Amino acid sequence: MANNRHTIILIQTSQNRATRTFKDFDSVTQAMDGICAMYERKLKELNPAIRNLSYDITDLYNFIDGLADLSALVFDSTSHAYFPYDREWIKQQTYHRLKKLAH
């Protein structure tokens, strides 16, 4: 299955290079869920008094665009290599993931 591809998300939250980190996931789907969860944690941190937070895709895109750096490395079993994907690809993938969850 194409979606069961190990995915590494590379994140730098601010201009400070010390904020560089990575998270790895068993699939692209899990990686996109992880990015949404990261945003949701940030929302809860910023709005501790609000119990039920909601957001739309524009809010998520603003969060993604606000990160100093964000990219993905997705394993391709055919070539046995990781292929890099940029912020725009990640935004498309999160959109498709949220759209699928909404239905």
* pLDDT tens profile 34-79: 999 999 999 999 999 988 888 999 999 999 999 999 999 999 999 9
pLDDT of residue 1: 44
Tell me the C-alpha distance between 98 and 56, whole Å.
9
Kindly tell me the burial class for residue 27, based on how many C-beta atoms sit within 10 Å of its own C-beta (0-12, 13-18, 19 or more): middle
Q: Is there a domain that residue 2 lies in? A: no
Q: Is there a domain that residue 47 lies in? A: yes
Q: Is there a domain that residue 71 lies in? A: yes
CATH number (domain holding residue 29): 3.30.2260.10
Q: State the residue range of the domain holding 33.
A: 7-102
Q: Is there a domain that residue 1 lies in? A: no
- Number of domains the chain contains: 1
Q: Is there a domain that residue 15 lies in? A: yes
**% residues pLDDT > 70 (the chain):** 97
